[in-house]
Amino acid sequence: MHDCLIIGGGVIGLSVAWELSRHGLSCAVLDQQAFGQESSWAGAGMLPPGNPQQAETSDERLRSHSHVLWPEWSAALRDASGIDNGFRRDSALEVRFAGQPGDLDDEVRRWLSTGVACQPLAESEARELEPELGPGISAAYLLPEHGQVRNPRHLKALHTACGRARVTLLPGTPVWEIARRDGRVTHVETPAGRMTAGHYVVASGAWSERLLAPLGNPPWVRPLRGQMVLLSQFPCSLARVINLGHRYLVPRGDGRVLVGSTEEDVGFDRRNTAEGVLGLLELARQVVPALSQATLERTWAGLRPRSIDGLPYLGRLPGTDNLIVATGHHRAGLQLSPITAVLVGELIRGISPRVDLHGFRPDRVGSD
Protein backbone atom coordinates (compact mmCIF):
# COMPACT_ATOMS: atom_id res chain seq x y z
CA MET A 1 0.00 0.00 0.00
CA HIS A 2 1.27 3.46 -0.89
CA ASP A 3 1.36 6.42 1.46
CA CYS A 4 -0.55 8.47 -1.12
CA LEU A 5 -2.51 7.78 -4.27
CA ILE A 6 -2.85 10.77 -6.61
CA ILE A 7 -5.66 10.83 -9.17
CA GLY A 8 -4.61 13.02 -12.06
CA GLY A 9 -1.24 13.11 -13.83
CA GLY A 10 -1.10 16.74 -14.92
CA VAL A 11 1.32 19.29 -13.54
CA ILE A 12 -0.49 19.41 -10.17
CA GLY A 13 -0.58 15.64 -9.65
CA LEU A 14 3.03 15.09 -10.74
CA SER A 15 4.21 18.02 -8.61
CA VAL A 16 2.46 16.59 -5.55
CA ALA A 17 4.03 13.18 -6.17
CA TRP A 18 7.51 14.65 -6.55
CA GLU A 19 7.13 16.80 -3.43
CA LEU A 20 5.96 13.83 -1.35
CA SER A 21 8.74 11.61 -2.68
CA ARG A 22 11.30 14.22 -1.60
CA HIS A 23 10.02 13.70 1.95
CA GLY A 24 10.27 9.93 1.76
CA LEU A 25 6.60 9.10 1.10
CA SER A 26 5.65 6.43 -1.42
CA CYS A 27 3.20 7.55 -4.13
CA ALA A 28 1.24 6.28 -7.09
CA VAL A 29 -0.13 8.59 -9.81
CA LEU A 30 -3.09 7.51 -11.96
CA ASP A 31 -4.43 9.21 -15.05
CA GLN A 32 -7.09 8.23 -17.57
CA GLN A 33 -4.67 9.00 -20.41
CA ALA A 34 -0.99 9.90 -20.88
CA PHE A 35 0.43 12.25 -18.26
CA GLY A 36 0.25 16.00 -18.74
CA GLN A 37 -1.79 16.01 -21.95
CA GLU A 38 -4.55 18.44 -20.95
CA SER A 39 -4.29 22.05 -19.74
CA SER A 40 -0.83 21.45 -18.21
CA TRP A 41 0.70 20.92 -21.64
CA ALA A 42 -1.53 23.36 -23.51
CA GLY A 43 -0.66 26.57 -21.63
CA ALA A 44 2.01 29.19 -22.27
CA GLY A 45 4.07 28.78 -19.07
CA MET A 46 3.82 32.37 -17.83
CA LEU A 47 4.80 33.04 -14.19
CA PRO A 48 3.52 36.36 -12.77
CA PRO A 49 5.45 37.84 -9.84
CA GLY A 50 4.43 38.19 -6.21
CA ASN A 51 5.67 39.23 -2.76
CA PRO A 52 4.61 37.02 0.20
CA GLN A 53 5.38 39.75 2.74
CA GLN A 54 2.80 42.16 1.27
CA ALA A 55 0.26 39.90 -0.44
CA GLU A 56 -3.25 40.65 0.81
CA THR A 57 -5.79 38.44 -0.94
CA SER A 58 -5.94 34.64 -1.04
CA ASP A 59 -5.02 34.68 -4.73
CA GLU A 60 -2.03 36.98 -4.16
CA ARG A 61 -0.73 34.87 -1.28
CA LEU A 62 -0.80 31.68 -3.31
CA ARG A 63 0.80 33.32 -6.36
CA SER A 64 3.52 35.05 -4.34
CA HIS A 65 4.57 31.88 -2.52
CA SER A 66 4.80 30.04 -5.83
CA HIS A 67 6.88 32.91 -7.26
CA VAL A 68 9.42 32.39 -4.48
CA LEU A 69 9.48 28.60 -4.96
CA TRP A 70 10.00 28.50 -8.74
CA PRO A 71 13.82 29.04 -8.83
CA GLU A 72 14.48 26.35 -6.22
CA TRP A 73 12.02 23.92 -7.79
CA SER A 74 13.52 24.38 -11.24
CA ALA A 75 17.07 23.84 -9.98
CA ALA A 76 16.08 20.78 -7.93
CA LEU A 77 14.17 19.30 -10.86
CA ARG A 78 17.14 19.80 -13.16
CA ASP A 79 19.38 17.98 -10.67
CA ALA A 80 16.85 15.17 -10.21
CA SER A 81 15.93 14.67 -13.88
CA GLY A 82 18.80 16.06 -15.94
CA ILE A 83 16.24 18.19 -17.84
CA ASP A 84 16.29 21.99 -18.01
CA ASN A 85 12.68 23.22 -17.84
CA GLY A 86 13.60 26.58 -19.38
CA PHE A 87 12.70 28.63 -16.30
CA ARG A 88 13.78 32.24 -16.54
CA ARG A 89 12.74 35.69 -15.38
CA ASP A 90 12.84 37.98 -18.37
CA SER A 91 10.11 40.57 -17.62
CA ALA A 92 6.76 41.22 -19.27
CA LEU A 93 4.91 44.15 -20.76
CA GLU A 94 1.23 44.80 -20.14
CA VAL A 95 -0.15 46.98 -22.94
CA ARG A 96 -3.39 48.46 -24.21
CA PHE A 97 -4.13 49.78 -27.68
CA ALA A 98 -6.47 52.61 -28.69
CA GLY A 99 -7.75 53.17 -25.16
CA GLN A 100 -7.30 55.82 -22.50
CA PRO A 101 -3.90 56.69 -20.96
CA GLY A 102 -5.14 55.79 -17.48
CA ASP A 103 -6.57 52.36 -18.38
CA LEU A 104 -3.84 50.51 -16.49
CA ASP A 105 -3.43 52.87 -13.53
CA ASP A 106 -5.41 50.69 -11.13
CA GLU A 107 -3.35 47.63 -12.04
CA VAL A 108 -0.10 49.52 -11.49
CA ARG A 109 -1.27 50.72 -8.07
CA ARG A 110 -2.27 47.16 -7.14
CA TRP A 111 1.08 45.67 -8.09
CA LEU A 112 2.95 48.37 -6.17
CA SER A 113 0.72 48.10 -3.08
CA THR A 114 1.54 44.39 -2.83
CA GLY A 115 5.29 44.94 -3.02
CA VAL A 116 5.79 43.89 -6.65
CA ALA A 117 8.12 45.90 -8.89
CA CYS A 118 6.05 47.61 -11.59
CA GLN A 119 7.15 50.42 -13.89
CA PRO A 120 4.58 52.55 -15.76
CA LEU A 121 5.72 53.31 -19.29
CA ALA A 122 5.04 56.01 -21.82
CA GLU A 123 4.44 54.84 -25.38
CA SER A 124 7.99 55.81 -26.37
CA GLU A 125 9.43 53.78 -23.47
CA ALA A 126 7.38 50.72 -24.39
CA ARG A 127 8.60 51.00 -27.99
CA GLU A 128 12.19 51.32 -26.85
CA LEU A 129 11.81 47.94 -25.13
CA GLU A 130 9.80 46.33 -27.95
CA PRO A 131 10.32 48.27 -31.21
CA GLU A 132 8.02 45.98 -33.25
CA LEU A 133 4.86 46.74 -31.25
CA GLY A 134 1.95 47.95 -33.35
CA PRO A 135 0.55 51.50 -33.49
CA GLY A 136 -1.85 53.05 -31.02
CA ILE A 137 -0.35 52.09 -27.63
CA SER A 138 -2.44 53.98 -25.07
CA ALA A 139 -1.08 52.52 -21.80
CA ALA A 140 1.72 50.19 -20.73
CA TYR A 141 3.73 48.99 -17.76
CA LEU A 142 6.68 46.66 -17.17
CA LEU A 143 6.85 43.76 -14.69
CA PRO A 144 10.61 43.12 -14.42
CA GLU A 145 10.23 40.03 -12.19
CA HIS A 146 7.78 38.21 -14.47
CA GLY A 147 9.01 34.79 -15.57
CA GLN A 148 8.22 31.87 -17.82
CA VAL A 149 8.89 28.16 -18.07
CA ARG A 150 8.69 25.76 -21.01
CA ASN A 151 5.75 23.71 -19.78
CA PRO A 152 6.34 20.60 -21.97
CA ARG A 153 9.92 20.47 -20.71
CA HIS A 154 8.76 21.04 -17.14
CA LEU A 155 6.29 18.17 -17.39
CA LYS A 156 8.98 15.91 -18.84
CA ALA A 157 11.30 16.86 -15.98
CA LEU A 158 8.60 16.09 -13.40
CA HIS A 159 7.79 12.77 -15.03
CA THR A 160 11.45 11.77 -15.13
CA ALA A 161 12.14 12.92 -11.56
CA CYS A 162 9.11 10.99 -10.28
CA GLY A 163 10.26 7.88 -12.11
CA ARG A 164 13.73 8.12 -10.63
CA ALA A 165 12.19 8.62 -7.18
CA ARG A 166 10.31 5.31 -7.64
CA VAL A 167 6.89 6.93 -7.84
CA THR A 168 4.47 4.40 -9.36
CA LEU A 169 3.24 5.96 -12.61
CA LEU A 170 0.05 4.53 -14.10
CA PRO A 171 -1.07 6.34 -17.28
CA GLY A 172 -4.16 5.00 -19.02
CA THR A 173 -5.64 4.02 -15.66
CA PRO A 174 -8.93 5.82 -14.99
CA VAL A 175 -10.51 5.75 -11.55
CA TRP A 176 -14.03 4.33 -11.75
CA GLU A 177 -15.02 4.81 -8.13
CA ILE A 178 -13.74 6.31 -4.90
CA ALA A 179 -15.06 4.18 -2.02
CA ARG A 180 -15.62 5.79 1.37
CA ARG A 181 -16.64 4.36 4.74
CA ASP A 182 -16.84 6.01 8.18
CA GLY A 183 -15.38 9.28 6.93
CA ARG A 184 -12.38 7.79 5.15
CA VAL A 185 -11.59 6.64 1.65
CA THR A 186 -10.96 2.92 1.78
CA HIS A 187 -9.92 2.26 -1.83
CA VAL A 188 -10.41 3.21 -5.46
CA GLU A 189 -11.63 0.95 -8.24
CA THR A 190 -9.68 0.97 -11.52
CA PRO A 191 -9.34 -1.26 -14.61
CA ALA A 192 -6.15 -2.57 -12.98
CA GLY A 193 -8.08 -3.59 -9.88
CA ARG A 194 -8.66 -2.18 -6.41
CA MET A 195 -5.98 0.17 -5.07
CA THR A 196 -5.47 1.40 -1.51
CA ALA A 197 -3.37 4.09 0.16
CA GLY A 198 -3.11 6.04 3.38
CA HIS A 199 -4.07 9.32 1.69
CA TYR A 200 -5.73 10.24 -1.59
CA VAL A 201 -5.39 13.40 -3.68
CA VAL A 202 -7.83 14.35 -6.45
CA ALA A 203 -6.01 16.52 -8.98
CA SER A 204 -8.08 15.66 -12.04
CA GLY A 205 -8.59 19.14 -13.43
CA ALA A 206 -11.85 19.65 -15.31
CA TRP A 207 -12.87 16.04 -14.56
CA SER A 208 -12.64 16.43 -10.75
CA GLU A 209 -16.30 17.25 -10.13
CA ARG A 210 -17.46 14.15 -12.00
CA LEU A 211 -15.12 11.99 -9.96
CA LEU A 212 -16.09 13.48 -6.59
CA ALA A 213 -19.85 13.80 -7.21
CA PRO A 214 -20.77 10.35 -5.77
CA LEU A 215 -19.20 11.38 -2.45
CA GLY A 216 -21.64 14.30 -2.12
CA ASN A 217 -21.17 18.07 -2.17
CA PRO A 218 -18.36 18.09 -4.78
CA PRO A 219 -16.50 21.29 -5.69
CA TRP A 220 -17.90 23.13 -8.71
CA VAL A 221 -15.44 22.59 -11.57
CA ARG A 222 -16.17 23.20 -15.25
CA PRO A 223 -13.97 22.99 -18.37
CA LEU A 224 -13.15 26.19 -20.22
CA ARG A 225 -11.56 25.71 -23.64
CA GLY A 226 -8.46 27.71 -24.42
CA GLN A 227 -7.20 27.68 -28.01
CA MET A 228 -3.54 28.43 -28.79
CA VAL A 229 -1.47 29.26 -31.87
CA LEU A 230 2.26 28.73 -32.37
CA LEU A 231 4.04 30.99 -34.84
CA SER A 232 7.66 30.87 -35.97
CA GLN A 233 9.67 33.81 -37.19
CA PHE A 234 13.42 34.21 -37.63
CA PRO A 235 14.58 36.51 -36.21
CA CYS A 236 11.81 36.84 -33.64
CA SER A 237 10.12 40.24 -33.32
CA LEU A 238 9.73 40.03 -29.53
CA ALA A 239 12.15 39.88 -26.60
CA ARG A 240 9.66 39.48 -23.76
CA VAL A 241 6.10 38.44 -22.88
CA ILE A 242 3.36 40.83 -24.00
CA ASN A 243 0.11 40.69 -22.01
CA LEU A 244 -3.23 42.22 -22.98
CA GLY A 245 -5.43 41.21 -20.06
CA HIS A 246 -6.11 37.48 -20.40
CA ARG A 247 -4.55 37.36 -23.89
CA TYR A 248 -0.81 37.21 -24.55
CA LEU A 249 2.15 36.68 -26.83
CA VAL A 250 5.03 34.64 -25.41
CA PRO A 251 8.38 34.48 -27.24
CA ARG A 252 10.23 31.22 -26.60
CA GLY A 253 13.76 32.33 -27.45
CA ASP A 254 14.03 29.97 -30.43
CA GLY A 255 12.12 32.03 -32.98
CA ARG A 256 8.72 30.74 -31.86
CA VAL A 257 5.89 32.82 -30.39
CA LEU A 258 2.90 31.41 -28.52
CA VAL A 259 -0.32 33.36 -29.00
CA GLY A 260 -3.24 32.79 -26.64
CA SER A 261 -5.76 32.34 -25.51
CA THR A 262 -9.48 32.00 -26.04
CA GLU A 263 -11.89 31.37 -23.15
CA GLU A 264 -14.85 29.31 -24.35
CA ASP A 265 -17.56 27.59 -22.35
CA VAL A 266 -18.13 24.62 -24.67
CA GLY A 267 -17.99 21.67 -22.30
CA PHE A 268 -15.42 18.96 -22.98
CA ASP A 269 -14.91 19.96 -26.62
CA ARG A 270 -11.15 20.27 -27.36
CA ARG A 271 -11.41 21.16 -31.05
CA ASN A 272 -9.69 24.12 -32.62
CA THR A 273 -12.10 26.33 -34.56
CA ALA A 274 -11.61 28.70 -37.47
CA GLU A 275 -13.08 31.54 -35.42
CA GLY A 276 -10.77 30.92 -32.47
CA VAL A 277 -7.62 30.58 -34.55
CA LEU A 278 -8.42 33.59 -36.72
CA GLY A 279 -9.01 35.71 -33.63
CA LEU A 280 -5.60 34.78 -32.24
CA LEU A 281 -3.88 35.48 -35.56
CA GLU A 282 -5.56 38.88 -35.70
CA LEU A 283 -4.36 39.56 -32.12
CA ALA A 284 -0.78 38.71 -33.11
CA ARG A 285 -0.98 40.95 -36.18
CA GLN A 286 -2.39 43.86 -34.14
CA VAL A 287 0.21 43.63 -31.39
CA VAL A 288 3.21 42.91 -33.63
CA PRO A 289 2.42 43.66 -37.30
CA ALA A 290 5.58 41.85 -38.45
CA LEU A 291 4.06 38.58 -37.22
CA SER A 292 1.63 38.69 -40.15
CA GLN A 293 4.53 37.19 -42.14
CA ALA A 294 5.34 34.51 -39.56
CA THR A 295 4.77 30.82 -40.25
CA LEU A 296 1.71 29.25 -38.66
CA GLU A 297 3.39 26.22 -37.15
CA ARG A 298 0.71 24.63 -34.98
CA THR A 299 -2.64 25.07 -33.23
CA TRP A 300 -4.09 23.25 -30.22
CA ALA A 301 -6.58 23.62 -27.40
CA GLY A 302 -6.79 22.60 -23.75
CA LEU A 303 -9.55 22.41 -21.16
CA ARG A 304 -8.83 24.60 -18.17
CA PRO A 305 -10.56 23.68 -14.89
CA ARG A 306 -12.38 26.78 -13.67
CA SER A 307 -13.87 27.06 -10.20
CA ILE A 308 -16.95 28.88 -8.98
CA ASP A 309 -15.00 32.04 -8.05
CA GLY A 310 -11.69 31.84 -9.89
CA LEU A 311 -9.71 30.42 -6.95
CA PRO A 312 -8.51 26.82 -6.84
CA TYR A 313 -9.97 24.22 -4.49
CA LEU A 314 -7.28 23.14 -2.06
CA GLY A 315 -7.83 21.20 1.15
CA ARG A 316 -9.51 18.17 2.68
CA LEU A 317 -12.90 17.20 1.30
CA PRO A 318 -15.37 17.74 4.17
CA GLY A 319 -16.44 14.47 5.72
CA THR A 320 -13.43 12.62 4.34
CA ASP A 321 -10.34 12.72 6.55
CA ASN A 322 -7.84 11.26 4.10
CA LEU A 323 -8.90 12.83 0.79
CA ILE A 324 -7.40 16.13 -0.36
CA VAL A 325 -8.71 18.13 -3.31
CA ALA A 326 -6.26 20.09 -5.48
CA THR A 327 -8.10 21.32 -8.57
CA GLY A 328 -9.89 24.28 -10.18
CA HIS A 329 -6.72 26.26 -10.90
CA HIS A 330 -8.16 27.56 -14.19
CA ARG A 331 -5.38 29.44 -16.04
CA ALA A 332 -2.89 29.17 -13.16
CA GLY A 333 -2.22 25.44 -12.77
CA LEU A 334 1.38 25.54 -13.94
CA GLN A 335 2.04 28.84 -12.18
CA LEU A 336 0.69 27.58 -8.84
CA SER A 337 1.92 23.99 -9.04
CA PRO A 338 4.94 24.35 -6.69
CA ILE A 339 3.01 25.95 -3.82
CA THR A 340 0.04 23.62 -4.37
CA ALA A 341 2.33 20.60 -4.06
CA VAL A 342 4.03 21.99 -0.97
CA LEU A 343 0.71 22.72 0.76
CA VAL A 344 -0.71 19.29 -0.06
CA GLY A 345 2.51 17.77 1.27
CA GLU A 346 2.23 19.74 4.49
CA LEU A 347 -1.36 18.58 4.99
CA ILE A 348 -0.44 14.94 4.43
CA ARG A 349 2.59 15.17 6.71
CA GLY A 350 0.55 16.79 9.49
CA ILE A 351 2.29 20.18 9.25
CA SER A 352 0.39 23.45 9.52
CA PRO A 353 0.18 24.84 5.94
CA ARG A 354 2.28 27.93 5.32
CA VAL A 355 -0.70 29.55 3.54
CA ASP A 356 -4.15 29.84 5.14
CA LEU A 357 -6.37 27.51 3.12
CA HIS A 358 -9.74 28.76 4.30
CA GLY A 359 -10.36 30.72 1.09
CA PHE A 360 -9.62 27.62 -0.99
CA ARG A 361 -11.76 25.07 0.86
CA PRO A 362 -13.50 22.57 -1.46
CA ASP A 363 -17.00 23.11 -0.02
CA ARG A 364 -17.25 26.86 -0.61
CA VAL A 365 -20.06 28.18 -2.79
CA GLY A 366 -18.41 31.47 -3.75
CA SER A 367 -15.70 33.89 -2.74
CA ASP A 368 -15.62 35.12 0.85
Contact 293, 132 (CB under 8 A): no
pLDDT score recorded for residue 43:
75
Residue 318 preceded by cis peptide, ω within 30: no
- Give me the mean pLDDT over the 265-291 stretch: 96
CATH T-level fold of 2-85+150-221+308-360:
FAD/NAD(P)-binding domain (3.50.50)
Residue 368, pLDDT above cutoff 50: no
Q: Is residue 334 within 8 Å of 45, Cβ to Cβ?
A: yes
pLDDT band at 34 (very low <50, low <70, confident <90, very high): confident
User: H or E segment at 66?
Assistant: helix 58-81
| pLDDT of residue 161 exceeding 90 | yes
Rounded Cα gap, residues 299 and 273, in angstroms: 10
Q: What does the pLDDT look like over 344-361, one tens digit per residue?
A: 999 999 999 999 999 999
Q: Concatenated DSSP letters for 201-270?
A: EE--GGGHHHHHGGGSS----EEEEEEEEEEE-SS-S-SSEEEETTEEEEE-SSSEEEEE---B--TT--
Q: Are 269 and 226 in contact (CB under 8 A)?
A: no
For 84-134, the pLDDT digits (tens) are: 999 999 899 999 998 899 999 999 999 999 999 999 999 999 999 999 999
State the pLDDT at residue 40.
Answer: 64
Q: What is the pLDDT of residue 236?
A: 87
Q: Which residues are registered as beta bridge partners of 308?
A: none
Residue 115 burial (C-beta neighbours within 10 Å; 0-12, 13-18, 19+):
middle
| CATH 3.30.9.10 residue window(s) in the chain | 233-301
Average the pLDDT over 217-227 and give the result. 94
For 279-326, how does the pLDDT look when each residue is reduced to its tens digit (9 = 90+)?
999 999 999 999 999 999 999 999 999 999 999 999 999 999 999 999
Peptide bond into 81 cis (omega under 30): no
pLDDT at 37 over 80: no
Give the whole-number percent of the chain exceeding pLDDT 70: 98
Of the candidates 50, 140, 127, 47, which has an alpha carbon nearest to the alpha carbon of residue 94?
Answer: 140
- Mean per-residue pLDDT of the chain: 94
pLDDT confidence band for 39 (50 / 70 / 90): low
pLDDT at 359 (0 to 100): 93
Whether 367 has a pLDDT exceeding 60, the answer reads: no
CATH 3.50.50.60 placement within the chain: 2-85+150-221+308-360
Q: Sorting pLDDT into bands at 50, 70 and 90, what band is 44?
A: confident
Q: How far apart are CA 184 and CA 182, in angstroms?
A: 6
| Class of 233-301 in CATH | alpha beta
Mean predicted confidence (pLDDT) in 35-60? 86
- Average of per-residue pLDDT across 257-267: 94
